[in-house]
């Protein structure tokens, strides 16, 4: 039975018998009855065609005089397969995050099937030690050993105990059917039954055990010979198989092969980084600069009035329509990405922060916390609810024993012994016995087990040096939770950049809230609720960082990093709204101006002049971001200068090359800053010159020359960018990521020691290390903003190399291209 996509689907695995005419049989198939990888239609048709063809050949060969034994051996060889190709092409080795195939069978049925396969292999003259291919090993292990239990000694001992009990039952049934039912047969059964306890408790996979068992039986030589040649080898092989499957699961755990899909294993991309002024946001400053410069050119050239100037003005207006629309769509994607991360934080990370702070409370504060505010009970309730729903879905009766134990746990939620008692119930009874057939139910139980394991560790190991501060912070987090939920923008995304939002989350409102916080930063009573949310978030970040320092900077490091990322995501979302509005006004003004020029509508053209004045806001915004970028580049240049002075040889040359690239980027940023500054002055000047020509006594050509300079600087910056992108960066070595990372190896390893958390035996070590290194990569790349120098492609090599654990030679060099 397969539990896949939450649907029960039955698949038959065939076995054959050659000897023993009374009990021999051939199981042929017509239809979707073979062990297909999943129940997709084409797989069923494939299985049906193969089965029909094999059986047809079996009948046809009989007419050609081929013996039954030869035909049956061929039939057995051709159909003894278990297809893993489709599953691996889908989610990977049957163990994708939501795998296609999850076989489920009882111990009795699994033993009965493998017993028949062993007999088949023996009768066909095949090696019973090669009974299971890798695909079969994967599928059987998927049912018997749920992910997270590969190294759990208590579970594995229980699994072996239940499996061996099923082997003994099958052995008894086979002996009964093979030995006449008389007094002699009864003696054989009684003798075997008396040895059942030793079979379950001892190493039944060892040949010594079966030799000793044969010797100890008070039976005649003929009967012992039947048992030792016909029945005991099969039982012994069955006991070996369970050990092989456990070893297979353990190795798959160690090498992280239970999820082999690259989608799950590959390092995260640059797009996953949420940071203050991240890679994607830097590009918006560039497009804003170009757009503002062209808008200034539109107005200034229109003031000249000549045919040539009017042509240039129309061309710039047309280009601005395209640039502004691209800016609007891209910044919408960027805003949605930040908002989606905020939702992810609320759903997946916020409860971890509460749990980590709760673990630092004094014992009295923990015990006095109501259950509805207990963070561990909160997450346990969600896991238990999911477990109960799954149990009901698959038709099991209510888990009474589980419910009673869980209620007992909640009455003593901070008692480690009670937590251990409940965890033992999951492992010794529910996982290994009650729900061992259904892997989906087991998965939900492992989720509960994981929370219990974390609770026991945190509540036992962490002793706070500042319990009172932890209590204040915990109360602050409880009050903050509802505010966080109200600020989230949940809902579907359409076309990649359109999302339906509440009125208070519209771009205009978000932009006004951001501006109110900037201009009223010293007046808390005048702040909007959204601005107060950021102030509260910043307060929690500082409290987490302060409490972490008091705990030797190893506790709450991840939590403070996550909360700081939440602050950046919120701020970047609001800045994205500002950029969107700027792009929208430029788009609107450019369309208005183009329509006015095409149809010669003077009044509309005057309105377009005033509409273009808003572009000066985009120019100021671009200049602000470019100043930020330049300051980051200067700080990175200074760091690299220090590194250059402390190294020699090729390292010295390579660091100097990186520093030179940083200087070039700084020069490009200054060029864009000049264009944005010129546009910021030329735009309002051109509007005033057009509307109130008598107000300004300066030469009326000044705004034209300023705008011309801004346009030229913007065009020069674009050409300069292509040179940097396709000459300077293109010629950088592919080993840039390893080299830069190795340059800071000592500092990165210190970060790893601070950010790494204790490892459990539930999630694989590879997965846990990958999470640790991901935090290290984010911490390092926030401190040293190499993204401002190398952009997404080359910067990605640094990000992914650190995520991969900095595996490779510690003396990585950049080739001297």
Give just the sign of the alpha carbon dihedral 555, 553, 540, 272: negative
Give just the sign of the alpha carbon dihedral 276, 279, 281, 287: positive
275 shares a domain with 259: no
327 shares a domain with 246: no
Minimum mean pLDDT among 141-150, 275-284, 424-433, 607-616: which range? 607-616
Q: What is the pLDDT of residues 706-724, one digit of tens each?
A: 888 888 999 999 999 999 8
Pick the residue with more confidence: 583 or 566? 566
212 shares a domain with 116: yes
Task: Classify residue 492: in a domain, yes or no.
Answer: no
- DSSP assignment of 495-542 equals TTTEE---GGGSHHHHHHHHHHHHHTTT-GGG--HHHHHHHHHHHHHH
Pick the residue with more confidence: 37 or 444? 444
pTM (two decimals): 0.83
Q: What is the pLDDT of residues 791-802, one digit of tens each?
A: 777 888 899 999
- pLDDT confidence of 137, banded at 50, 70, 90? confident
Whether 175 has a pLDDT exceeding 60, the answer reads yes
Helices (H) and strands (E) in the chain, counts: 32, 4
Of 686, 708, 728, the residue at which a domain comes to its end is 728
Q: Which two tokens stand for residue 109?
A: 């049925």
| pLDDT score at 292 | 86
User: Cα 13–17–22 angle (5° rounding)?
Assistant: 125
What is the arithmetic mean of pLDDT over 121-130?
Answer: 87
Run of H or E residues at 491:
none
Task: Classify residue 754: in a domain, yes or no.
Answer: no
| pLDDT score at 133 | 82
261 shares a domain with 326: no
Please say whether the beta carbons of 446 and 453 come within 8 A. Answer: no
- Three-class secondary structure assignment of 95-146: CCCCCCCCECCCHHHHHHHHHHHHHHHHHCCCCHHHCCCHHHHHHHHHHHCC
Task: Classify residue 796: in a domain, yes or no.
Answer: no
169 shares a domain with 22: yes
| pLDDT score at 609 | 63
The half-sphere exposure of 243 on its side-chain side, counting CA atoms within 13 A, is: 11
Q: What is the pLDDT of residues 623-675, one digit of tens each?
A: 988 998 999 999 999 999 988 888 887 888 888 889 999 999 999 999 999 99
| pLDDT score at 89 | 41
How far is 575 from 511, CA to CA, in rounded Å? 7
| pLDDT score at 9 | 47
- Residue 571's domain comprises 270-349+501-728
How far is 299 from 679, CA to CA, in rounded Å? 11
- pLDDT confidence of 14, banded at 50, 70, 90? low
277 shares a domain with 260: no
Task: Classify residue 523: in a domain, yes or no.
Answer: yes
Whether 510 has a pLDDT exceeding 90, the answer reads no
Please say whether the beta carbons of 619 and 288 come within 8 A. Answer: yes
89 shares a domain with 195: yes
Please say whether the beta carbons of 547 and 473 come within 8 A. Answer: yes
Q: What is the pLDDT of residues 230-269, one digit of tens each?
A: 888 999 999 999 999 999 999 989 988 876 666 667 788 8
| pLDDT score at 531 | 60
408 shares a domain with 305: no
| pLDDT score at 163 | 94
- Close Cβ partners of 397 (under 8 Å, ≥ 6 residues apart): none
Locus of tokens 């149990």:
391
How far is 316 from 321, CA to CA, in rounded Å? 9
Whether 474 has a pLDDT exceeding 80, the answer reads yes
Of 265, 285, 313, the residue at which a domain comes to its end is 265
Whether 5 has a pLDDT exceeding 50, the answer reads no
- Close Cβ partners of 749 (under 8 Å, ≥ 6 residues apart): none
| pLDDT score at 530 | 59
Task: Classify residue 757: in a domain, yes or no.
Answer: no
Of 679, 701, 728, the residue at which a domain comes to its end is 728
Q: Smallest Cα–Cα separation from 249: which of 166, 129, 152, 128? A: 152
| pLDDT score at 96 | 43
What is the arithmetic mean of pLDDT over 381-393?
Answer: 93
The mean of the pLDDT values for the chain is 81
Please say whether the beta carbons of 363 and 402 come within 8 A. Answer: no
User: Cα 509–510–513 angle (5° rounding)?
Assistant: 85
Pick the residue with more confidence: 446 or 707? 446
| pLDDT score at 261 | 64
Give just the sign of the alpha carbon dihedral 206, 208, 211, 216: negative
- pLDDT confidence of 17, banded at 50, 70, 90? low
What is the arithmetic mean of pLDDT over 769-775?
Answer: 93
| pLDDT score at 214 | 79
Please say whether the beta carbons of 751 and 776 come within 8 A. Answer: yes
| pLDDT score at 809 | 45
| pLDDT score at 503 | 73
Task: Classify residue 11: in a domain, yes or no.
Answer: yes
Please say whether the beta carbons of 611 and 588 come within 8 A. Answer: yes
Please say whether the beta carbons of 459 and 414 come within 8 A. Answer: yes
3-state secondary structure of 494: strand
What is the arithmetic mean of pLDDT over 745-763?
Answer: 91
| pLDDT score at 496 | 76
DSSP code at position 29: -
| pLDDT score at 225 | 85
Whether 497 has a pLDDT exceeding 90, the answer reads no
Number of domains in the chain: 3
What is the arithmetic mean of pLDDT over 570-598?
Answer: 84
- Close Cβ partners of 717 (under 8 Å, ≥ 6 residues apart): 286, 289, 290, 668, 671, 672, 675
Q: At what angle do helices 350-358 and 467-487 cross, to 10 degrees?
A: 160
| pLDDT score at 589 | 80
Run of H or E residues at 471:
helix 467-487
Run of H or E residues at 9:
strand 7-9
Task: Classify residue 661: in a domain, yes or no.
Answer: yes
What is the arithmetic mean of pLDDT over 470-494?
Answer: 90
Percent of the chain surpassing pLDDT 90: 32
What is the arithmetic mean of pLDDT over 190-195?
Answer: 75
| pLDDT score at 302 | 72
| pLDDT score at 382 | 94
| pLDDT score at 654 | 84
Minimum mean pLDDT among 471-485, 549-563, 570-584, 697-711: which range? 697-711
Task: Classify residue 430: in a domain, yes or no.
Answer: yes
| pLDDT score at 737 | 85
187 shares a domain with 69: yes
Pick the residue with more confidence: 353 or 734? 353
509 shares a domain with 380: no
106 shares a domain with 248: yes
Q: Smallest Cα–Cα separation from 618: which of 562, 565, 663, 676? A: 676
User: Cα 308–311–312 angle (5° rounding)?
Assistant: 90
Percent of the chain surpassing pLDDT 70: 81
332 shares a domain with 209: no
- pLDDT confidence of 489, banded at 50, 70, 90? confident
Please say whether the beta carbons of 418 and 455 come within 8 A. Answer: no
Q: What is the pLDDT of residues 511-526, one digit of tens each?
A: 787 777 766 654 444 4
Whether 424 has a pLDDT exceeding 90, the answer reads yes
């Amino acid at each position: 039975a397969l539990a896949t996509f939450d649907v029960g689907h039955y698949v038959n695995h065939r076995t054959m018998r050659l000897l023993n005419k009374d009990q021999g049989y051939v199981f042929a198939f017509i239809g979707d009855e073979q062990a297909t990888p999943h129940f997709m239609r084409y797989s069923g048709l494939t299985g049906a065609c193969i089965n029909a063809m094999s059986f047809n050949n079996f009948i046809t060969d009989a007419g050609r005089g081929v013996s039954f034994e030869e035909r049956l051996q061929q039939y057995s060889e051709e159909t003894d397969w278990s297809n893993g190709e489709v599953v691996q092409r889908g989610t990977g080795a049957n163990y994708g995050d939501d795998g296609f195939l999850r076989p489920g069978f009882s111990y009795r049925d699994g033993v009965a099937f493998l017993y028949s396969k062993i007999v088949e292999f023996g009768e066909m003259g095949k090696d019973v030690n090669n009974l299971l291919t890798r695909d079969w090993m994967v599928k059987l292990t998927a049912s018997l050993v749920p992910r997270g239990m590969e190294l759990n000694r208590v579970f594995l001992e229980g699994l072996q105990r239940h499996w061996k009990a099923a082997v003994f039952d099958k052995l008894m049934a086979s002996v009964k059917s093979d030995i006449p039912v008389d007094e002699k047969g009864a003696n054989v059964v009684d003798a075997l039954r008396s040895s059942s306890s030793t079979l379950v408790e001892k190493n039944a996979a060892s040949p010594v055990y079966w030799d000793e068992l044969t010797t100890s039986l008070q039976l005649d030589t003929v009967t012992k010979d039947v048992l030792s040649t016909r029945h005991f080898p099969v039982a012994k092989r069955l006991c070996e198989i369970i050990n092989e499957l456990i070893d297979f699961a353990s190795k798959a755990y160690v090498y992280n092969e239970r999820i082999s899909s690259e989608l799950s294993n590959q390092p995260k991309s640059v797009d996953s980084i949420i940071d203050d002024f991240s890679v994607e946001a830097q590009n918006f400053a560039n497009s804003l600069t170009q757009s503002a410069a062209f808008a200034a050119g539109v107005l200034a050239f229109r003031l000249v009035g000549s045919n040539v100037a009017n042509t240039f003005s129309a061309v710039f207006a047309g280009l601005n329509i395209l640039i502004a629309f691209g800016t609007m769509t891209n910044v919408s994607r960027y805003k949605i990405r930040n908002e989606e991360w905020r939702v992810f934080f609320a759903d997946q990370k916020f409860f971890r922060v509460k749990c980590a702070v709760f673990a630092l409370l004094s014992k009295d504060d923990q015990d006095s916390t109501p259950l509805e505010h207990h963070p561990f009970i909160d997450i346990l309730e969600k896991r238990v609810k999911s477990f109960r729903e799954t149990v009901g879905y698959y038709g099991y009766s209510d888990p009474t024993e589980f419910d009673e134990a869980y209620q007992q746990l909640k009455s003593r939620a901070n008692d480690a012994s009670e937590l251990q008692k409940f965890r033992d119930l999951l492992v010794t009874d529910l996982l290994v016995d009650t729900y061992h057939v259904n892997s989906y139910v087991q998965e939900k139980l492992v989720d509960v087990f994981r929370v219990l394991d974390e609770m026991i560790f945190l509540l036992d190991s962490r002793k706070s040096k500042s319990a009172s501060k932890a209590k204040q912070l915990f109360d602050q987090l409880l009050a903050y939770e509802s505010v966080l939920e109200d600020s989230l923008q949940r809902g579907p995304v359409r076309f990649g950049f359109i999302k339906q939002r509440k009125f208070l989350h519209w771009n205009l409102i978000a932009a006004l809230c951001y501006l109110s916080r900037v201009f009223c930063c010293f007046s808390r009573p005048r702040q909007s609720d959204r601005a107060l949310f950021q102030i509260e978030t910043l307060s929690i970040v500082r409290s987490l960082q302060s409490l972490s320092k008091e705990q030797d900077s190893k506790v709450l490091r991840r939590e403070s990093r996550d909360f700081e990322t939440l602050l950046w995501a919120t701020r970047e979302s609001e800045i994205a709204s500002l950029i969107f509005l700027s792009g929208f006004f430029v788009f609107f003004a450019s369309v208005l101006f183009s329509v006015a020029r095409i149809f010669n509508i003077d009044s509309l053209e005057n309105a377009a002049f005033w509409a273009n004045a808003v572009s000066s806001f985009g120019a100021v915004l671009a200049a602000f971001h470019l100043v930020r970028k330049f300051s980051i580049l200067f700080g990175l240049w200074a760091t690299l200068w220090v590194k250059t002075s402390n190294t020699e040889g090729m390292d010295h040359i390579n660091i100097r090359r990186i520093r030179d690239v940083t200087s070039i980027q700084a020069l490009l940023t200054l060029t864009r800053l000049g264009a944005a500054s010129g546009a910021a002055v030329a735009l309002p000047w051109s509007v005033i010159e057009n509307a109130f020509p008598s107000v300004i006594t300066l030469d009326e050509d000044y705004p034209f020359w300023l705008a011309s300079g801004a346009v030229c600087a913007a065009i020069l910056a674009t050409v300069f960018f292509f040179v940097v992108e396709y000459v300077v960066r293109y010629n950088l070595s592919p080993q840039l990521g390893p080299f830069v990372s190795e340059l800071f190896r000592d500092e990165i390893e210190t970060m790893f020691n601070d950010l790494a958390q204790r490892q459990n035996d539930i999630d694989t070590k590879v997965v846990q290390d990958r999470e640790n290194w991901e935090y290290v990569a984010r911490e390092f790349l926030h401190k040293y903003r190499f993204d401002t120098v190398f952009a997404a492609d080359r910067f990605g090599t640094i990000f992914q190399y650190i995520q991969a654990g900095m595996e490779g030679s510690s003396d990585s060099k950049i080739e001297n291209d």
